[in-house]
């Protein structure tokens, strides 16, 4: 079937995305390759239109975010000081309703906890709980660690099938209603986008190749930890699924950190999960900004393995991810610059484990074991020199 000029324009724009340099703000939680499959589904013009609209909006959001990123790079960073954070501090959390428009932030919800709108109630709960998690566990003062307002908008656009951090706030669509549910449904989706904001202010990881895959993985890592905290799950009791209710059908998830590549199988639209779980299967693709959503499965698996191995060493002390590996990942991500390789990050986790827990500690051993299992070599492998970033030609 011949594509319309609108479809051709969107697909052409997206095809060019693989040739440009990434950025810290990054894409939505639903990868482009999944939306493409949705757009290519025959016999359902409504779903096809929703997918194409989402792809087109995602492209526009990237361009609009250019200005936010420019301002971000002009800012003077304020290093965080844990001694300045008191237990009484709480972030100002604001929820808005876009009412199926694309105007941000939308209409402010005065009492979100009392709303009869499930999307509003859910996202407010995730916002409060996620902020509490970062504050209580990592002593973090909001997304920028300097007390910024935490702003979230629900009901973005009509059946928008994605969620994203736009450089200053989080935005959540309602999904297509047939294959993709509302993006307010799972706490880890919210925490994933929250962490993209944290990464922007702390590290500004480039959204390309291995650095981009680390960007995605770090959001998944802290997304799963926030979910485990909210649901009071241990390393053992967690199912390690990201977006476990997002794909309609009851037997699909968006990603599996325990077994990347198995989150969904034989899906009527999306087919099989393409995530990789080891460097042996590394996908050196130009699509997906160099495979940022596909290859993020490798560091995701490493975090899972390090957490479970550490639990094996000391079940009582390390029953919860944030007591050991979570602390290491939180610190290591701030020390690798903006364009690290997997090897750079892996080596930094070992270094941090030694500093925080001691040389030859169980935490160090667990980190070494995990990276070895996914075939990421430790060492001082130099990162490739970054290309000049074209901030107005993103993705």
pLDDT in tens, 283-328: 999 999 999 999 999 999 999 999 999 999 999 999 999 999 999 9
* 22 HSE (CA, 13 A, CB side): 28
pLDDT attached to residue 392: 28
247: β partners: 180
pLDDT attached to residue 2: 47
- Alpha carbon distances (Å) from 170 to 55, 124, 145, 289: 18, 12, 16, 21
> At how many degrees (to 10) do helices 362-373 and 325-332 cross?
70
Pairing of strands 170-172, 163-165: antiparallel
Give the pTM: 0.87
pLDDT attached to residue 63: 59
Whole-number Å distance between alpha carbons of 254 and 197: 21
Whole-number Å distance between alpha carbons of 318 and 324: 6
Cα three-residue angle 10-36-393, rounded to 5 degrees: 45
Whole-number Å distance between alpha carbons of 75 and 69: 10
Residue listed under structure tokens 């970062």: 134
* 320 C-beta neighbours (distance < 10 Å), count: 20
* 280 C-beta neighbours (distance < 10 Å), count: 9
The full set of domains in the chain, from first to last, is 87-373 (1.10.390.10)
pLDDT attached to residue 42: 75
Catalytic: 193? Answer: yes
Query: Which token pair is 197?
Result: 């904001």
Pairing of strands 150-154, 170-172: parallel
Q: Which phi and psi (to 5°) does residue 347 adopt? A: -60, -35
Whole-number Å distance between alpha carbons of 339 and 345: 10
Whole-number Å distance between alpha carbons of 79 and 290: 31
164: β partners: 171
Residue 72's contacts (CB-CB under 8 Å, 6 or more residues apart) are 24, 167, 200, 204
Rounded to 10 degrees, the C-alpha dihedral 83/84/88/92 comes to -140
One of 7, 32, 193, 233 is an active-site residue; which one?
Answer: 193
One of 23, 155, 293, 339 is an active-site residue; which one?
Answer: 293
Whole-number Å distance between alpha carbons of 157 and 170: 14
Q: Which residues of the chain have pLDDT under 50?
A: 1-2, 5-7, 9-25, 73-88, 381-395
């Amino acid at each position: 079937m011949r594509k319309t000029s609108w479809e051709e324009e969107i697909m052409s724009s997206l095809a060019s995305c693989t040739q440009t340099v990434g950025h810290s703000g990054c894409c939505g939680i639903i990868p482009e390759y999944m939306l493409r499959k949705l757009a290519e589904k025959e016999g359902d013009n409504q779903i096809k239109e929703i997918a194409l609209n989402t792809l087109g909006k995602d492209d526009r959001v990237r361009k609009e975010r250019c200005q936010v990123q420019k301002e971000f790079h002009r800012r003077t960073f304020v290093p965080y000081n844990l001694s300045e954070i008191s237990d009484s501090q709480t972030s100002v959390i604001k929820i808005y309703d876009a009412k199926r428009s694309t105007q941000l932030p939308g209409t402010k919800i005065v009492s979100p906890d009392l709303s009869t709108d499930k999307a509003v109630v859910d996202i407010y709960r995730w916002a409060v709980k996620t902020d509490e998690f970062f504050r209580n566990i990592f002593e973090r003062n909001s997304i920028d660690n300097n007390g910024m307002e935490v702003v979230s908008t629900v009901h973005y656009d009509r059946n928008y099938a994605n969620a994203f951090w736009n450089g200053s706030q989080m935005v959540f669509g309602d999904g297509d209603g047939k294959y993709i549910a509302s993006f307010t449904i799972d706490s880890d989706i919210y925490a994933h986008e929250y962490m993209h904001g944290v990464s922007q202010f702390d590290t500004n990881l480039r959204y390309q190749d291995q650095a981009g895959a680390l960007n995605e993985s770090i959001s998944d890592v802290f997304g799963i930890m926030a979910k485990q905290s909210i649901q009071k799950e241990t390393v053992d009791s967690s199912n390690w699924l990201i977006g476990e209710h997002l794909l309609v059908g009851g037997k699909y998830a968006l990603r599996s950190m325990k077994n990347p590549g198995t989150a969904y199988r034989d899906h009527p639209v999306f087919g099989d999960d393409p995530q990789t779980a080891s460097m042996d299967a590394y996908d050196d693709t130009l699509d997906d900004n160099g495979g940022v959503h596909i290859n993020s499965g490798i560091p995701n698996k490493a975090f899972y393995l390090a957490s479970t191995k550490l639990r094996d060493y000391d079940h009582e002390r390390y029953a919860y991810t944030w007591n050991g590996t979570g602390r290491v990942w939180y610190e290591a991500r701030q020390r690798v610059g903006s364009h690290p390789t997997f090897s750079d990050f892996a080596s930094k986790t070992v270094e941090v484990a030694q500093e925080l827990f001691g040389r030859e500690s169980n935490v160090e051993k667990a980190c070494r074991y995990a990276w070895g299992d996914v075939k990421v070599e430790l060492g001082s492998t130099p990162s490739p020199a970054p290309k000049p970033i074209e901030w107005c030609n993103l993705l």
